[in-house]
């Protein structure tokens, strides 16, 4: 077993040609490091066509003869948005989603003992057949290999996947899948506590490993205890030879129990009140291509500076390192599928659902919709921070999204499923485990909660923070004091989408729609974060900090202000 980070040594061209996949290196390639964006946006104007292009990446490497008889796997964290992978001129793999990871088996295409070439045809142009481009979206999508790349050298038989489901009381179930000839092999699972205590379990490949670990510390916001699981694939020794470890996977997980009943959302028996924020993963100029250090700053800021306890990954799976930090710091997560098509059914107030809606109940979209759900679940299912799966954003409803919801429930029954779109189409109300709405008025929420509903209420978006906004937040927060079924909500959103430019007075300012001679435009509609695009705080942050604090600390804050006012008088 060997693992290599493959983020260095790449060559890039903004124009893909067939020569890129061949043995001879073309002229004019640029050396780049992953994460990489196909074209940084300029300081003085914005045109989304700049990063929508057909480009290419190339990496040359030596494959030693010691790899003979072993399996060589190349994994991409994400390539925006349509990727075709070649090795030594052979087309090996195609992946049509810019937000999920994929793995390519290079084994049969390698030339051992020689130099080899891996090439990536990267198409960042909008394609109507690849969500979210099947309908209008209101965010920039960028392009490139913008998440980490790694290379793994494995035995012919190896672990494909490991999934642990662990309850707050200590019960657990470990399931796994393998590749290759594993007859006679066994599994060994080692669970290590945060203090270093170790427990070892063995099992058969065909059956999950189950058990109970006594005295566990459950994962929670205030105490995000993480345990370490190592699963080994073992081939028993023969003729006096020792057992051989063919492969192993190590991950961190938490013991916790999620319940969503008519009375609300509970974690480990304690009622959960969401103090959340929506987070896009884009940044000025570089788009999605940001290192782990920036992911860490975001997670720390949300948890420690703002007092948030939850993040919705709007509107696609976020960087896996960010999710890891949510596990470590104690942040709830709604993991959202890459699907948004509101331009296909929100037309001047008309619905037109049956005629135009994508995906709706269209059979030709079913496979693609489910593929995105599966890719997100398989990548992120061991993160204790993820309490809820989301079926996407503003895509109405229909049989396709219902199938996605059923997939989540069938493959991960320990989590909940969210989808706001059923509010517009009650025929598919079964899609969502909760009543979710956007920008509902406080009195509308009260009316719902006073009707003795079957489902608790959550705001997946509220307090759209444009301009000098965020007033009246108290009206929402106070609802939690009256109604157990009110779970709180997610402010829209974390950071402005804007670019710095020089204005008519020669000043360096952040520009929004219309500032770059762009027409048509929504003007500053994308300037709806609680921080500016450069990370500077807006005045609205004072309200967020106050109302996302505990009632006791708010009371102490009020007392200090009253005392200061009295002294001033």
Catalytic residues: 394, 461
**Residue 500 burial by Cβ neighbours in a 10 Å radius (0-12, 13-18, 19+):** middle
Q: Name 255's Cβ contacts closer than 8 Å, sequence gap at least 6.
A: 166, 167, 168, 169, 170, 172, 213, 216, 217, 218, 219, 225, 227, 384
Q: φ, ψ for residue 379 (rounded to 5)?
A: -75, -40
Contact 460, 436 (CB under 8 A): yes
Q: How do beta strands 186-192 and 149-154 pair?
A: unpaired
Strand locations in 43-197, DSSP E? 54-63, 71-76, 79-80, 82-87, 90-95, 102-105, 114-123, 144-145, 149-154, 158-166, 171-179, 186-192
Tokens at 62, concatenated: 């030596």
CA distances from 2 to 169, 178, 419 (A): 36, 17, 41
Tokens at 465, concatenated: 């923070």
Strand partners, 83: 95, 122
Gyration radius of the chain's alpha carbons = 25
Distance of CA 27 to the CA centre of its chain: 37
What 8-state DSSP symbol labels residue 65? G
């Amino acid at each position: 077993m060997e693992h290599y980070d493959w983020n260095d040594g790449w060559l890039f061209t903004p124009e893909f040609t067939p020569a890129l996949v061949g043995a001879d290196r073309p002229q004019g390639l640029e050396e780049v490091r992953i994460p990489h964006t196909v074209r940084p946006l300029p300081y003085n104007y914005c045109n989304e066509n700049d990063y929508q292009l057909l480009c290419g990446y190339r990496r040359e490497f030596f494959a030693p003869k010691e790899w003979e008889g072993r399996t060589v796997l190349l994994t991409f964290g994400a390539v925006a948005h349509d990727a075709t992978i070649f090795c030594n001129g052979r087309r090996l793999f195609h992946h049509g989603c810019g937000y999920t990871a994929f793995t390519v088996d290079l084994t049969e295409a390698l030339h051992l003992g020689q130099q080899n070439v891996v090439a990536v045809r990267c198409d960042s142009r909008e394609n109507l057949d690849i969500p979210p481009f099947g309908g209008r979206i209101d965010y920039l999508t960028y392009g490139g290999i913008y998440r980490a790349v790694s290379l793994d050298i494995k035995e012919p038989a190896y672990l494909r996947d490991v999934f642990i489901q662990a309850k707050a009381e200590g019960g657990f179930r470990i399931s796994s899948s393998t590749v290759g000839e594993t007859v006679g092999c066994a599994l060994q699972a080692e669970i290590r506590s945060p203090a270093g205590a170790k427990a070892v379990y063995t099992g058969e490949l065909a059956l999950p490993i189950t058990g109970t670990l006594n005295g566990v510390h459950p994962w929670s916001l205030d105490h995000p205890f993480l345990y370490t699981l190592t699963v080994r694939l073992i081939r028993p020794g023969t003729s006096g030879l020792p057992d051989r470890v063919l492969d192993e996977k190590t991950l961190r997980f938490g013991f916790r129990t999620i319940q969503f009943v008519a009375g609300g959302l509970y974690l480990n028996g304690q009622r959960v009140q969401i103090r959340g924020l929506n987070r896009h993963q884009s940044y000025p100029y570089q788009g999605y291509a940001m290192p782990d250090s920036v992911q860490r700053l975001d997670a720390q800021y949300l948890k420690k500076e703002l007092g948030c306890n939850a993040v919705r990954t709007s509107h696609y799976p976020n960087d896996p390192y960010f999710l890891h930090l949510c596990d470590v710091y104690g942040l709830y997560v709604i993991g959202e599928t890459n699907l948004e098509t509101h331009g296909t059914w929100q037309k001047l107030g008309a619905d037109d659902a049956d005629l135009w809606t994508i995906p709706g109940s269209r059979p030709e979209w079913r496979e693609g919709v489910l593929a995105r759900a599966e890719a997100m679940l398989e990548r992120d299912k061991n993160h204790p921070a993820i309490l809820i799966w989301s079926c996407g954003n503003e895509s109405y409803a229909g049989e396709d999204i219902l199938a996605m919801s059923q997939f989540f429930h069938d493959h991960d029954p320990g989590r909940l499923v969210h989808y706001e779109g059923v509010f517009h189409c009650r025929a598919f109300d079964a899609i969502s485990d909760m009543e979710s709405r956007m920008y509902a008025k406080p009195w509308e929420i009260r009316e719902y909660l006073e009707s003795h509903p079957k489902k608790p209420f959550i705001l997946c978006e509220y307090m759209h923070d444009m301009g000098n906004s965020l007033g009246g937040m108290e009206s929402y927060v106070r609802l939690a004091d009256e109604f157990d079924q009110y779970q709180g909500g997610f402010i829209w959103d974390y950071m402005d989408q804007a670019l710095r430019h020089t204005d008519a007075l020669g000043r360096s300012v952040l520009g929004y729609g219309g500032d770059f001679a762009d027409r048509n435009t929504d003007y500053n509609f994308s300037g709806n974060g609680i921080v500016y695009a450069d990370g500077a705080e807006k005045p609205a942050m004072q309200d967020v900090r106050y109302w996302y604090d505990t009632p006791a600390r708010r009371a102490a804050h009020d007392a200090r202000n009253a005392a200061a006012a009295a002294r001033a008088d």
